[in-house]
Structure 1
Amino acid sequence: MSVSVLGAGAFGTALAISLAGKGPVTLWARDAGDMAERRENAKRLPGCPFPETLSVTDDLEAGTEAEIILLAVPMQKLRSVLEEHKDALHGKHLVACCKGIELSSGVGPVSVITQTIPDATAAILTGPSFAADIARGLPTALTLACADAEAGRYLQAALTTANLRLYRTTDTIGAELGGALKNVVAIASGAAIGAGLGESARAALMTRGYAEMQRLAAHLKSEPTTLAGLSGFGDLTLTCTSEQSRNYRLGQSLGQGTPFDPTTTVEGAATARAVDALARDAGIDMPITRAVAGLLDNQLDVAGAMKSLLTRPLKEE
């Protein structure tokens, strides 16, 4: 089997490094020259040298020769990348490595793949993981979701490495939602800590945010147990409690009222807006998501957001 990674951000680079421990891997990037010369991604993942089995290229033909292609591009750019390169990606095993809901359509990455390249085998790799941990060989467990059970087993075997253990599911909707919605809750959690509201407030937001995730997942007919696994609860726990999370750091900036680097990709921002619109249309109660969307659009401040949550009608848990 052959593997390529399209996209040399921190996560794509880390996956390529880990997978290269099993055999040759190609990492495609528009700015491949510097990485090929330095043998590391000095800009996005410094201090993590490339194995000899990892080749870097800016040649799309070379980057798409593999049978299995990991799509490590931002969620909001996934469709345009697929449409731009659809001739080279027909019939491949395409594994999305991004987390979010597309703002324009309200669907997740697996749906974007199947809509854009119908003859591809679509899957998603998601769960609690930081790029630096994977690249440095630290143990990490993720969810590999593919609606085709046989293809899922094949991908699970191909993409499991010495430090990266994959668990398999056919519930792509649940896996997509877990990876997307935990980023929204992480923004809320970061805002609470940034505003000095304390650990108890963060714990409450995480717990009630998880309940929102379950409500939307039930509406979209995902398996009830999926969000209890790595792609849901596991990723929620990691992302809401670590400053390595860009979504959490954005929330902290909102809570502190300080600027945030606009060049940093934060998937939860667009996802909050997309999910808020989806929930409103479907009549699903998702107050934390609504509050995060309000914060991002400057319609609320943190004090107003917390007031809106704390003054909701009392009810059973």
Structure 2
Amino acid sequence: MTKVAVLGAGSWGTALANNIAANNVEVTIWSHRAEQAAEINQKHTNAHYLPKAKLHEALKATADMATAVNDADIVLMVVPTKAVRQVAQELARLLDQRETPVVLAHATKGLESGTHKRISQMIAEEIPAKDYSGLAVISGPSHAEDVVAHDLTAVSIGSTDLAAAQALQKVLANDHFRPYTNDDLLGSELGGALKNIIAIGSGILVGKGYGVNAQAALLTRGLVEMRRVGKAMGAQAETFLGLAGLGDLIVTGMSPNSRNYRAGRSLGQGQDLASVQADMGMVIEGVNTTQAVYDFAQKEGLAIPLTTAIYQVLYQGANIDSEIETLMTRPLKNE
């Protein structure tokens, strides 16, 4: 029987682990906080991250990573970008003690601050290739709150190793959660990261009182920028038209369940970034990703006006109304 370890007990890690448990697959979720693991085991809840959810009784939790990983066939990392290296280093020590490699996957949507590296690059630098048989990423339109409520969801599993993608696909699939596979790991990761930037912008527009016309324009032109950056980084352009790109962009850029959207909305309503981050209580991946993509575009000479405007608001204290006016009065051009 396949056994799965999910590393990270935030909202998304918990929702994925709960979905796997509902498929009668043995799954253990690791939390770095013992009290959170105890809550999941005893109350079958994760009140801080998913306050309305009742979790599957078969889902087990532990604060000891070794307990989760040692006999697992699949290890799924779902931790914030800033924690990836630390968790991967601890995981590497555990995997080195095993005789058989695992299928390794992640579901984190971000880029490393400073290096601009994708999650799979960070993992590959910390965990020797001999210790895993394939590396995959879960991406796509999939808010944790909806997944745990069994809303209909489709995601994309990107990997250059089809067997790894299919192994993950098998433990996740059911009548309300449909995973597809693709061979563009790079594009899948970039889609999941880049859409967070545009979602912040979408929230800003709503916070300023603009309607769906403005949102639709932003998301559409934002997708152009996502594809432009993705192409410059070596991704397949068509990936951005699928679940990992357009699909994720729509749900993250339109839903109040999105942290990035909510953060942008608060900014549009006049809050400063520090207070927004403090109020959220969870990582807003798009903030750091905006810095990383802006730096990359400056280095490569890429035109990304929307991302640049969002960067100016987040990091330079720019006036939102002025940035919107600048965008709307740029020289006219073909689409």
What pairs with 1:102-113 in structure 2 (closer than 5 Å)? 102-113=112-123
Report the residue type matching 1:140 in the other structure: T
Q: Shift in Å at residue 264 of structure 1?
A: 2.4
Contact 2:74 2:104 in 1 (8 A): yes
Name the structure 2 match of 1:153. 166
Q: Indicate which of 44, 49, 67 corresponds to 1:44.
A: 49
How far apart, CA to CA, are the structure 2 residues paired with 1:16 and 1:237? 24
Q: Shift in Å at residue 10 of structure 1?
A: 0.8
Name the structure 2 match of 1:80. 86
Q: Indicate which of 176, 185, 200 corresponds to 2:198.
A: 185
State yes or no: 1:20 paired with 2:30: no
State yes or no: 1:260 paired with 2:276: yes
Q: Given the two structures, how large is their TM-score scaled by the length of structure 2?
A: 0.90
Identity within the alignment, %: 38
Which string of whole-angstrom CA distances, capped at 9 and with x for unpartnered residues, describes residues 261-313 of structure 1? 42321100000000000111111111111111111114312112112212322
Name the structure 2 match of 1:5. 6
SS of the residue 2:224 aligns to = helix
Q: Shift in Å at residue 203 of structure 1?
A: 1.4
Name the structure 1 match of 2:228. 215
What pairs with 1:216-295 in structure 2 (closer than 5 Å)? 216-258=229-271, 259-262=275-278, 263-295=281-313
Report the residue type matching 1:82 in the other structure: A
How far apart, CA to CA, are the structure 2 residues paired with 1:161 and 1:112? 31
Superposed CA RMSD in Å reads: 1.5
Name the structure 2 match of 1:130. 143
Q: Which structure 1 residue ranges, 4+ long, deviate > 4 Å from structure 2?
A: none
SS of the residue 1:225 aligns to = helix
SS of the residue 1:143 aligns to = strand
SS of the residue 1:165 aligns to = strand
Contact 1:35 1:42 in 2 (8 A): no
Structure 1 unaligned blocks of 5 or more: none
SS of the residue 1:292 aligns to = helix
How far apart, CA to CA, are the structure 1 residues paired with 2:298 and 2:321? 23
Contact 1:185 1:209 in 2 (8 A): yes
Q: Given the two structures, how large is their TM-score scaled by the length of structure 1?
A: 0.95
How far apart, CA to CA, are the structure 1 residues paired with 2:26 and 2:91? 23
How far apart, CA to CA, are the structure 1 residues paired with 2:164 and 2:137? 12
How far apart, CA to CA, are the structure 1 residues paired with 2:310 and 2:6? 32
Contact 2:198 2:253 in 1 (8 A): yes
SS of the residue 2:60 aligns to = strand
Contact 2:200 2:264 in 1 (8 A): yes
Which string of whole-angstrom CA distances, capped at 9 and with x for unpartnered residues, describes residues 130-150 of structure 1? 112111222211010111123
Contact 2:136 2:157 in 1 (8 A): yes
Q: Between Structure 1 and Structure 2, which shows a larger proportion of helix residues?
A: 2
Name the structure 2 match of 1:97. 107
Alignment length, in residue pairs?
317
Q: Indicate which of 26, 32, 35 corresponds to 1:30.
A: 32
